[in-house]
Amino acid sequence: MPVIRLSLSRIRSLLGRDLGERDLEKLLMRLKSEVEGYSEGYVEVEVNSDRLDMMISEGVVRSLKGLLGIEVGLPIYRYRDSWIELEVSEVPQRRYIAMAVVRNINNSEGFIEELIQFQEKLHVTIGRRRRKVAIGIHDLSKIDSKICVYRELESDEKLVPLGYGRAMRVDEMIAETEQGRLYGSISIRDGKLPGIICGDKIISVPPVINSELTRVTRSTRDLLIDVTGTDLGYVEKTLEILSTTLAESSSERVIERVSIRAPWGSGATPRGELRRIIVGRGYISEILDVGGISILDITRSLLSMRLGVGEILGDDVEVIVPPYRIDISGPIDVVEDIAMAMDLNSIEPEPLAAVLPGRPSMATHIRRRLRDIMIGLGFTEVYRHVLVSREVLEILGYNSYLAIKNPVSSEMSAARPSIIPSILDTLKSSQHAPKPVRVFEIGEVVVRDPGVYTGWRTGLYLAAGVLDDSVSFEDIQAPLFSLIRTLGLRPRTASAEYPVFIRGRSAYIYADSHHVGVVGEIRLEMLRRMGIGFPAAVFELDLLRLLEAIKNPKSRRS
């Protein structure tokens, strides 16, 4: 979740009050945000990604005012028509655009810093790293034309990119600027990028970089905001967040709509539409269950969360949602806001009714019994990962296993089809411990199974290993037989080859005639390749098959 750095003095001055740090923390907690730390006049806040409007002090303060009662209910913005007109051509690689103007912002110390942060956080979250949505913010006073155009640029058109001292061709800009290298490939088509041109000057090349011409400085008073992207809904929502939140920084709260003529239609943005959602008192009660919540309580809560209240008909409340609350899509979202307004810790949790104990899973049943028997046989329990090294699996002769396409490390590049690799890895790390080393593990494996709809079955296996100065087959066979007998089954081993065992010292295990596993002494070259300097012997059991054997004792066959 995004972490933003906000100026404490900005927060206090926007709030009009000297809020203490403890109080700020508590209030932010109620708004799903968490204070991470402080540093020289700044506070680091982890903001939930569903409240993008709170990625700047203006947005945070707007919410705080509601909780503190300083300003409640719908925030009011004044919409006017701007003298800017936007003509949109076909830009297939980045189709949609919307623009807005915010007048007379309070551009005091720290505003620009936070503005840049706001923009970047939006880019990373809703913008999906600028692919879906990108934002440009401009100093309106530096634009001397009424008409702005959004079209594809020719590669030889020129601009002075923001932060560079000279004019560059568009293709030069892509190759030579950092932003060009990072974002130049997102919206390129036949070598052409989109551009916003006002008058005859390029003011922006989305999603790459703005022009130095319209740079926002300390003396900027009016902002022109552009949002471009591949999804009209997201573009417009982003513009709503930006326009309303930045308007909070001006005392007049004026937002000017830019008229737009585009292939998808004509109109003016931002719409500033207020959505209306009807929420029933019964529904709120059902979800929250706080015992008789009144219409007054509901109303108070809504207003403190900066939501508006329209008509109240009986038990139904019409909730008015401001345009920047894109996280609210239905009644349930409104109910959550009411819960937040109420402070969750003031709700008396309902005590759990007395019930019968739950049932453990089959896996737990069998695991518990086997665990105790293995400990009783003197084997120490180990617990390792399911992800193992692909290379090790190949060395040990396993060729059917689930590989990971994007492993984090080669040590964890495949899901183990057997616990034997984990046991051998354990023996390798423990080979210099006092002997004999006797270990076991009960855990999951992933095995190929064409009968399962995913093609893989998750199994539960038990594997045990013995390592000593000298090891014989009997050293592993004796505890194995003891285990099976203790479960009330008849053990038998039948000579059979298995890749990881020495030929002639390898067998299948049967419990009451059910084939349940394998046992044997580990091949010398595999021990050597794994870096194990002592002989070792291992057995492995498929616990689900063992369970079947316990449940279905077959008649004794000779």
Partner 1 sequence: MVRIRRWAPFSEKDLLLSQGERDVLRALASIGSGDIEQASRVSGIPKSTIASIIESLASKGLVRVERRTRYLYRATGEGLESLRGFPEEILLSILSARGGEAPLSEVEILMGSERASIAIAWARRRGWIEIRGDRVIMTGSGSLEKYREFIARASDGVYQDEAGLSSEEIQELVRRKMIVREEKRDILFEVTEKGYEVLKGLGDVHVVSRISRDIVSGIVGNMIIRPYNVEAEPREIYPAYKHFYVDFLEMLRDIMLSLGFDEIDDSLVVPELWNFDILYQAQDHPAREIHDILVADSPPADLTHYRDLLERVSREHSSGWGYSFDTGTSSRLIMRSQTTAATIRYLYTHREPPVRAFIIGRVFRSDVIDAKHLPEFHQMDGVAMEHGMSLRRLLGILSQITRALGFREVLFKPGYFPFTEPSVEGYVWIEGLGYVEIFGAGLFRPEVLRMTGLEHNVGAWGMGVDRLAMAYLAISDIRELYSPLIDRLRWHRVASYKAIP
* Binders in 214-233 for partner 1, by CB under 8 A: 231, 233
Which one of the spans 142-150, 180-188, 259-267, 357-365 is the region binding partner 1 (CB under 8 A)? 357-365
Q: Is 136 helix (H, G, I), strand (E, B) or coil?
A: strand
CB atoms within 10 A of CB 342: 18
Which one of the spans 12-20, 24-32, 314-322, 548-556 is the region binding partner 1 (CB under 8 A)? 24-32
Do 174 and 180 contact (CB within 8 A), yes or no?
A: yes
Angle (CA) 166-170-171 rounded to 5° is: 110
Q: How far is the CB of 269 from partner 1 (least distance, A)?
A: 18
Q: Residue 187 gets which letter from DSSP?
A: T
Q: How far is the CB of 393 from partner 1 (least distance, A)?
A: 13
Q: What is the number of alpha carbons within 13 Å of residue 165 lying toward its C-beta?
A: 0
Q: If binding is defined by CB under 8 A, does position 408 make contact with partner 1?
A: yes
Angle (CA) 311-313-317 rounded to 5° is: 60
Q: If binding is defined by CB under 8 A, does position 22 make contact with partner 1?
A: no
Size (the chain), residues? 558
Match 């292939």 to its residue by tokens: 263
Q: If binding is defined by CB under 8 A, does position 265 make contact with partner 1?
A: no
What 3 state SS string does 138-152 have? EEHHHCCCCEEEEEE
- Interface pick for partner 1 out of 363, 395, 496, 550 (rule CB under 8 A): 363
- Interface pick for partner 1 out of 89, 141, 185, 361 (rule CB under 8 A): 361
* Whole-angstrom distance, CA of residue 542 vs CA of residue 445: 10
* Whole-angstrom distance, CA of residue 114 vs CA of residue 105: 13
Per-residue string for binding with partner 1, 88-127, x by CB under 8 A? Answer: -------------------------------------x--
- Contact set for partner 1, span 367-406 (CB under 8 A): 368, 371, 374-387, 402-406
Q: How far is the CB of 125 from partner 1 (least distance, A)?
A: 8
Q: Which is nearer to partner 1, 107 or 125 (CB)?
A: 125
What DSSP line would sit under 488-508, residue for residue? T--EEEEE---TTEEEEEEEE
Per-residue string for binding with partner 1, 134-173, x by CB under 8 A? Answer: ----------------------------------------
Q: What is the number of alpha carbons within 13 Å of residue 432 lying toward its C-beta?
A: 2
- Interface pick for partner 1 out of 192, 438, 514, 523 (rule CB under 8 A): 438
Q: If binding is defined by CB under 8 A, does position 456 make contact with partner 1?
A: yes
Q: 258 pairs with which residues across the strands?
A: 269
Q: If binding is defined by CB under 8 A, does position 50 make contact with partner 1?
A: yes
End-to-end Cα distance, the chain: 65
Q: Which is nearer to partner 1, 209 or 466 (CB)?
A: 466
Q: Residue 482 gets which letter from DSSP?
A: H
- Interface pick for partner 1 out of 6, 14, 24, 30 (rule CB under 8 A): 30
Q: How far is the CB of 538 from partner 1 (least distance, A)?
A: 15
- Interface pick for partner 1 out of 415, 419, 507, 516 (rule CB under 8 A): 415
Q: If binding is defined by CB under 8 A, does position 339 make contact with partner 1?
A: yes
- Interface pick for partner 1 out of 8, 19, 35, 48 (rule CB under 8 A): 48
Helical ranges in 251-361 per DSSP H: 281-288, 295-304, 331-342
Q: Which is nearer to partner 1, 222 or 475 (CB)?
A: 475
Q: If binding is defined by CB under 8 A, does position 325 make contact with partner 1?
A: no
